[in-house]
Structure formats: structure tokens, C-alpha cells
């Protein structure tokens, strides 16, 4: 008898962006970190709060809550670092979250009717329905160029 989970079950990380929880596929999540020094420089996108330096990488901090949960802003205590797809490669981004995140294994269901494109499904956890977030489509239409991650000075 196999101890592995059924094929339809997948691992997700639950994160609380505002009053509501969302789920990210676990394979896209890197780590949860306490806020270090947020580095700010001028830019034109109001969703970007700045950048963090993590493991030698410059990681943009993106306030996803503004897109998926509206302007309601609460105190966010941690940054969840996850990956976003850019063409064939992936790049880290940090999402401010309100509290501890939870790892669950569940079977994804279809999203609610009329859900935005960045909600790819839902998890039914007791009475709570948790939307599954696709970070790649949250910023649809914002594709950047394919510049290298690091260039010599």
C-alpha cells in the first residue's frame, strides 16, 4: 500500500492577506521571513513597496493584497517569498502577509463562478473556502523584458 497522497491532492501554503485567506501552490513558495530592512527607491508601480535582499538576491516586495482583496490594509508581519514566472524562468517576489502561514494538503476544486483570472481554484477547508492564487496572472499584462538576472558592471 502506498503512503503517497492521491494524485488529485496537492500541497498549498495558506496565507492571510487581509481578513481573508488565500492559497498558493506549495511548489511556488520559497520561505516565510520576518521583515528585514525594506529598501525603497523611486519607481512607477504603486503595488511595489520596495525590495528586500535575501540570500544575495534582490527581491521585489509586491502588495498583492491591493489587487486580490481591495484597499483594506492591515498590519502585515511577515513576507512570504514565492516565485513568479517570466517566460521560461522564475523570479522571486515577496508578499506581505498578516501572520503565520500554514501548509495543507487538499484537493483543489473549481473556482467560484465569476472569479477573476488570477483565482485558479478553491480549497474547501471546513466551512472556509480558500481561493487559490496564481501569482503569474495577478499582474497580467505587466510582462517585463527578458533581461539577465545579473550583468557585469
Rounded Cα distance, 72 and 4, in Å: 40
Q: Which is nearer to other proteins, 95 or 101 (CB)?
A: 95
Q: Which is nearer to other proteins, 5 or 140 (CB)?
A: 140
CB of 145 vs other proteins, minimal distance in Å: 7
Q: What is the DSSP string of 38-94?
A: -B----S-TTEEEEEEETTEEEEEE-THHHHS-S------EEEEEEEEETTEEEEEE
Q: Does 107 engage in binding with other proteins (CB under 8 A)? A: no
Q: Which of residues 12-41 bind other proteins (CB under 8 A)?
A: 37, 39-41
Q: Does 10 engage in binding with other proteins (CB under 8 A)? A: no
Closest of 74, 69, 72, 78 to residue 119, by C-alpha: 69
Residues that bind other proteins (CB under 8 A): 37, 39-45, 48, 51, 53, 58-60, 62, 84, 86, 91, 93, 139, 142-153
Amino acid at each position: 500500500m502506498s503512503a503517497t497522497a492521491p494524485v488529485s491532492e496537492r500541497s498549498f501554503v495558506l496565507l492571510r492577506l487581509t481578513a481573508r485567506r488565500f492559497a498558493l501552490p506549495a511548489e511556488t513558495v520559497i520561505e516565510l521571513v520576518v521583515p528585514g530592512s525594506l529598501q525603497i527607491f523611486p519607481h512607477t508601480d504603486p503595488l511595489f513597496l520596495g525590495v528586500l535582499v535575501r540570500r544575495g538576491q534582490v527581491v521585489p516586495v509586491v502588495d498583492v493584497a491591493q489587487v486580490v482583496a481591495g484597499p483594506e490594509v492591515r498590519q502585515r508581519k511577515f513576507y512570504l517569498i514565492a516565485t513568479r514566472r517570466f517566460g521560461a524562468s522564475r523570479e522571486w517576489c515577496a508578499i506581505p502577509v498578516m501572520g503565520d502561514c500554514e501548509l495543507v494538503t487538499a484537493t483543489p476544486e473549481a473556482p467560484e463562478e465569476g472569479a477573476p483570472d488570477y483565482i485558479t481554484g478553491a480549497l474547501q477547508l471546513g466551512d472556509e473556502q480558500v481561493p487559490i492564487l496564481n501569482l503569474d496572472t495577478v499582474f497580467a499584462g505587466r510582462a517585463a523584458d527578458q533581461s539577465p538576472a545579473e550583468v557585469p558592471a
